[in-house]
């Protein structure tokens, strides 16, 4: 995989997975909540990176 996937698309993919896990049959509620909480944390991290992308790139010299 050589193409860079933009943060907004990564965030979108995580949000799709969160929605699917909320309705996915065959997974216990506690299992779903466990996975959803981790996916939400990953989404929050990516959203923070997206919001601070310009500043981060400037700090590392890739702006």
Model confidence, pTM: 0.79
Provide the number of structural domains found in the chain: 1
Residue 56: domain span? 7-60
Q: pLDDT by residue (tens digit) across 20-63?
A: 888 877 888 888 899 999 999 999 999 999 999 999 999 998 76
- How does DSSP assign 24-55, residue by residue? -TTS-HHHHHHHHHHHHHHHHHHHHHHHTHHH
Tokens representing residue 8 in the block: 């907004």
Give a yes or no: residue 2 inside a domain. Answer: no
More reliable by pLDDT, 21 or 5:
5
- Domain assignment present for residue 38? The answer is yes
Quick check: is 56 in a domain? yes
Answer yes or no: is 23 within a domain: yes
């Amino acid at each position: 995989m050589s193409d860079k996937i933009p943060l907004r698309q990564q965030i979108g993919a995580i949000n799709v997975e969160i929605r699917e896990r909320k309705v996915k049959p065959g997974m216990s509620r506690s299992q779903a909540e466990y996975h959803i909480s981790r996916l939400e944390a990953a989404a929050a991290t990516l959203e923070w990176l997206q919001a601070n992308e310009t500043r981060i790139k400037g700090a590392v010299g890739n702006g």
